[in-house]
Chain A
Amino acid sequence: MKVATPYDTGRKPTWCPGCGNFGILRAVKQALSELRLEPEKVVVVTGIGCSGRMADYLNVHSFHATHGRVLPLATGIKLANHELVVVGFAGDGDAYSIGVGHLPHAARRNVDLTYVVHNNMVFGLTTGQFSPTSPRGFVSKTSPSGTVEEPLNPIAFALACGATFVARGYVGELKHLVWLMKEAITHKGFALLDVLQPCVTFNPQFGYKFYSERVYKLEDEGHDPSDFEAAMRRALEWGEKIPIGIFYKVRRPTFEEALPQLAAGPLVKAQLRVNIADLIERFA
């Protein structure tokens, strides 16, 4: 019997049975619950694609945005009220293809938000094209002869962009994923959580069997997440062994902490009556 949580909307997901998104959705609800975050304090920003529908299934504030545009929109929301918990959800196409240009800057700014990427190495909702994380030679509807591009390494990329929290999860390790989400959300700064998930309909070869045989936890191998170079080395591992866990975690001032205009409180509560007599004087 399913017990309703405060984060349930009662809407039935439109995802295919067996979709990795179900696991991510469950993990988010569990993480928010364990963190005791009231729904009214949380905002999720979703991109376009199957993962974009997350907004309909989470009873929190939400903004279902345009393709690739989760990060700047989420940044605007965070700047407007930095006391809100802001979490972005985007697919690998949304985050690493059309939206990749925003990633270095969100990382550099170190805005305190969490970016969960549903990485299934394919464009699902548009019915099966390759994505920037698909391996070279990937056969799809737009690459019938196999892709001739190297895949992007999101972990190494995020590290190089200066992200202060970089992690990878896997929907087949749900408890671990819940833990990673909690860590990412509570991390003060920009947190990227790349989540490996099968797309059972358009990318079955990279399914549960493929991942379960390869993933290992960084924590089990004594990885030190404060060591950047070690993180980079682990980031380059992909093949017979695929590391999941926290690659890198460091505390640096966030974008919001560096803005004196936010010291008095959230912008949304600022006094709207402004007197500009002193500014006008400058033009006399």
Chain B
Amino acid sequence: MRVNSASILIGGRAGDGVMRAGRVLSLALVRAGLNVFAMNDYPSLIRGGRNFFKLRAEEGEVRAQRRAVDVILALDERTVELHAGELEAGGAVVYDSDKFDVEEGTALRVPVPMTSIAKEAGAPEVMRNSAGLGAVASLIGLDFELLEGAIRALFPSRWEGNVKVAKAGYESVADEVKERAPVKVAARPAPRKLLISGNEAAALAAIAAGVKLFASYPITPATPLFHAMATLGPRKGVVVVQTEDEMAAALMALGAAFAGVRSLVATSGPGFDLMVETVSLAGMVEYPLVIIHAQRQGPSTGLATKTAQGDLLFSVFAGHGEFPKLVVAPGDAEEAFLRTVEAVNLADKYQVPAVVLLDKHLAESYWTVDSLPAEVPVDRGKMLTEAELGQLGGRYARYELTDDGVSPRAPLVPVEGVIVKANSSEHDERGYTCSEPRVVASMMNKRFKKLEKLAEEVERLEPVKVHVRAAREADVAILCWGSVKGAAIEAARLLEEDGVRASVVQVVYMWPFPKEGARKVLEGASLVVAAENNKTAQLAKLVEAEIGVKASSAILRYDGRPLDPEEIRDGVVAALRSD
């Protein structure tokens, strides 16, 4: 029996309250002083199908899911069929005995009459999930008060019925069953931590960074970010608009930027496709357009609710014509917050479009974070004040040629004589349409000068991170990005047990590609193995193209599911064997 180290899966059909139950249990465990990482999986439907929520709780740092599971909470029979194979020896199956039975076997069976408990409490049937939660909490020795607190936090309007049902479930587990529990929780004192998803963190970041217009169209898996914005944004003066389509979302955001207001949009692949024209427009008119692109499996409609990292190169090269843009890929929820703030600042400062790449796994999984800053730095670059504009008056030229390519920007607060002209056609310094060859060349050079300066600033931001150990001190460097970061670091831990010293090289800033940062980190790497959630090893391609470092092999998963640490470990071991 392990203490304070558990992998728990909750499964059921859509509509059974699987996700909420998972979040409640996760929050309760965080409040017990543990670190929790949780992921979820669901099909593209509203009722039925098969959902699961899988959490991992540890005393130490936890960044990814484990394949094996210690406790299964099954709200339907399918869950047992689908996941019994993942159960550790001696693992427990807590199930709704009113609905189905689980055959005697090697697992510890914990039958709980969840449906009748809910009924006896006078609660709607969906609350049977709380009976299950109560039983699991009791089994693993989690204090009921912690569970109750989590229920109250996450069900603010319906907590009473849920707590009553949970209590009954808690009391239904016999002592002799509890004695055979595979894992136990011993609450420990720990500072108050946050349990937050990538989407939620990005939404908070946007608000903190002074975004005042958020425009989007619902699309999985970016929708929770939209919902968070709609709930929290207005409290901080953010105007949240649901547009008629993604084109309108990007355009409204760009229009606001033109007028001097910070804006942001969130979407996924199919929506990003529709925004690409506006990315090119932003590049030409030189206004920030920050797009949170939460990737999902493509191509086309693909698998709306499944994860993938298939749009890296598309995002880097999005938009016809040549112009500078920023592309950054956070690796977890905390980075989603920090990198989104950076992206909003950089896009504003260099007056470029920016793409913040998430994916379903990153957007919708939960991490335990020590804290997030309540206030963040706001850098608007060369945004002129009313006084400065007053001095300039009619001399103001929107696209003034400057040493660093960045022209002073004027917010549209009327100042006498100051006229601001943005133009999607090639233009002169004042923004009038112009096709004179010398002017065209100088404007192209001006815009690319910005890319040069942006690249210099990006190099100063730790654009490529290394984890566990330096690449030159390792037997193998695992090259990864985005949500694979967590699984790669966990894989490095597993490899340690096999006597393999691995380094994890995580590229964060994708464009302008940080050649210096990448070279420095990969210098001396004896073997580079890429690990990506796509079919064409896009980061490996980019790294090879930009700095000539080749990954000798790639561990690729492109079935809509996130890479597991065990898979990466197995892939690395195979690569070392063939090396």
Contact = CB atoms under 8 A, between A and B. Distances in A.
Our verdict on whether A and B bind, yes or no, reads yes
B419 A56 contact: no
A277 interface: yes
Contacts of B445: none
Interface size class of A (residues with CB under 8 A): 35 or more
Given A64-B425, A260-B234, A277-B374, A81 B252 contact: no
Contacts of A79: 213, 239, 241, 252, 255-256, 261
Contact of A101 (B210, B236, B245, B372): B245
Given A69-B251, A268-B412, A64 B244 contact: no
A261 B239 contact: yes
Contact of A284 (B194, B255, B424, B431): B194
A259 B239 contact: yes
Contacts of B374: 275-277, 280
Interface in A225-276: 259-262, 264, 266-276
A283 B203 CA distance: 13
Given A64-B422, A267-B261, A276-B208, A76 B215 contact: yes
Nearest to A39: B419
Contact of B259 (A53, A80, A101, A102): A80
Given A102-B248, A261-B238, A279-B204, A72 B413 contact: no
A76 B253 contact: yes
Nearest to B263: A76
A269 to B, nearest CB: 7
B235 interface: yes
A29 B443 CA distance: 30
A268 B424 contact: no
Interface string B241-281: 10111011101111111111111000000000000011001
Contacts of A80: 212-213, 255-256, 258-261, 412
A151 B258 CA distance: 35
Contacts of B200: 283
A66 B241 contact: no
Given A55-B423, A81-B259, A261-B239, A75 B252 contact: yes
A129 to B, nearest CB: 20
Identify the interface centre among B193, B260, B380: most chain A CB within 10 Å of its CB.
B260
Contact of B254 (A73, A101, A102): A73
Interface in A59-89: 59-66, 69, 71-81, 84
B248 A105 contact: yes
A61 B417 CA distance: 11
A283 B194 contact: yes
Contact of B210 (A65, A74, A259, A274): A274
A196 to B, nearest CB: 26
A167 B240 CA distance: 31
Given A56-B433, A64-B425, A260-B234, A72 B419 contact: no
Interface string B192-221: 111110001000100111101101000000
Interface in B91-143: none
Contacts of A271: 237
A62 to B, nearest CB: 5
Contacts of B245: 101
Nearest to B259: A80
Contacts of B380: 272
B506 to A, nearest CB: 24
Given A62-B422, A75-B252, A80-B255, A105 B243 contact: yes
A75 B244 CA distance: 12
Contacts of A259: 239
B47 to A, nearest CB: 28
Contacts of B414: 38, 40-41, 84
Contact of A273 (B210, B248, B254, B411): B210
Contacts of A272: 210, 262, 378, 380
Interface residues of B, number: 69
B328 interface: no
A266 B237 CA distance: 11
A65 B378 contact: no
Nearest to A10: B432
A122 to B, nearest CB: 21
Nearest to B236: A274
B470 interface: no
A261 B234 contact: yes
A41 to B, nearest CB: 5
Given A260-B234, A280-B372, A64 B252 contact: no
Contacts of A76: 213, 215, 251-259, 263
A41 B415 CA distance: 9
Interface in B421-449: 421-425, 431-433
B397 to A, nearest CB: 13
A273 B381 CA distance: 15
Given A40-B415, A56-B432, A81-B259, A72 B243 contact: yes
Contacts of B401: none
Contact of A279 (B213, B235, B241): B235
Contacts of A81: 259-261, 412-413
A9 interface: yes
A268 B384 CA distance: 13
B509 to A, nearest CB: 24
Contacts of A2: none
A43 interface: yes
B277 A66 contact: yes
A273 B432 contact: no
B232 interface: yes
A130 B232 CA distance: 48
A279 B232 contact: yes
B412 A267 contact: no
Interface string A90-114: 0000000000011011000000000
A283 B245 CA distance: 31
Contacts of B433: 53, 55-56, 64
A36 interface: no
A75 B252 CA distance: 6
Contacts of A280: 194, 204, 371-372, 374
Contacts of A279: 204, 207, 232, 235-236
A280 B257 CA distance: 26
A76 B247 CA distance: 12
Contacts of B411: 268
Nearest to B243: A72
A273 B281 CA distance: 29
Contacts of A105: 243-244, 248
Contacts of B421: 55, 61-64
3 smallest beta-carbon distances between A and B, as pairs: A76-B255, A80-B259, A76-B252
Interface of B: 192-196, 200, 204, 207-210, 212-213, 215, 232, 234-239, 241, 243-245, 247-249, 251-263, 277-278, 281, 285, 371-372, 374-375, 378, 380, 411-425, 431-433
Given A9-B432, A40-B416, 8 more contacts: A38-B414, A59-B419, A74-B255, A79-B239, A261-B234, A267-B239, A274-B237, A279-B232
6 contacts: A55-B423, A66-B278, A77-B255, A79-B239, A267-B239, A274-B375
